[in-house]
Structure formats: structure tokens, C-alpha cells
């Protein structure tokens, strides 16, 4: 039974960060250093170390934002975070 199990590849935060930034730019967010903006307002802030990516996503795009922090430890976490950003962007667009 253990022969049928495949471990996921090791998580490389530096490589995942490059891909995550590309995905956020594809969502039409503007990159400013480690931050990403929508219409001049901070939306996402990213930081990485040797083991994880720490991503902060605003609750709402306002001048003084409240942030939710997400710790991305593997590729699945990165995919879920990008999905969350997409959902928030869609929600904010429908609110306007």
C-alpha cells in the first residue's frame, strides 16, 4: 500500500513566490516591492523565508486596511490563497 503513495515535491518558497507574484499580476494587481495594489490601494503583501510564505490579504480595499494573514507552507496553500484573492476581487468588483 505504501508503494502506491507519492509524496508531493518539497515546497520551495522562493520558487513558489515567483509563481505567486506572476499569478497576482495576472489578476491585474500592480506590484510595488513585496506589495500588490488595486487602483492604488494595497491588497496583498508577501514575505518569504526558507520554509514558508507569509501572505497578508486585506479584508476590504480602503485607505487604512485591515489585514488577514495567511501562512503558505506548500503548493496547495498557495493555490488556495490565489483562489481566495480571486474571490475577494470578484466580491469587491460586484460591490462597486
**pLDDT beyond 80 at 95:** no
> Which tens digit of pLDDT belongs to each residue from 14-70?
999 999 999 999 999 999 988 999 988 999 999 999 999 999 999 988 888 899 999
- Hey, which residues does 45 pair with through a beta bridge? 35, 56
Is the pLDDT score of 76 beyond 60? Answer: yes
CA pair distance 17, 23, nearest whole angstrom: 10
Q: Is the whole model's pTM more than 0.85, yes or no?
A: no
Amino acid at each position: 500500500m505504501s508503494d502506491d503513495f507519492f509524496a508531493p515535491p518539497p515546497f520551495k518558497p522562493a520558487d513558489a513566490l515567483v509563481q505567486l507574484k506572476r499569478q497576482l499580476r495576472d489578476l491585474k494587481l500592480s506590484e510595488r516591492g513585496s506589495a500588490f495594489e488595486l487602483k492604488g490601494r494595497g491588497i496583498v503583501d508577501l514575505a518569504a523565508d526558507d520554509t514558508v510564505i507569509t501572505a497578508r490579504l486585506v479584508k476590504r480595499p480602503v485607505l487604512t486596511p485591515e489585514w488577514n494573514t495567511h501562512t503558505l507552507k506548500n503548493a496547495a496553500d498557495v493555490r488556495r490563497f490565489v483562489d481566495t484573492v480571486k474571490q475577494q476581487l470578484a466580491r469587491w468588483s460586484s460591490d462597486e
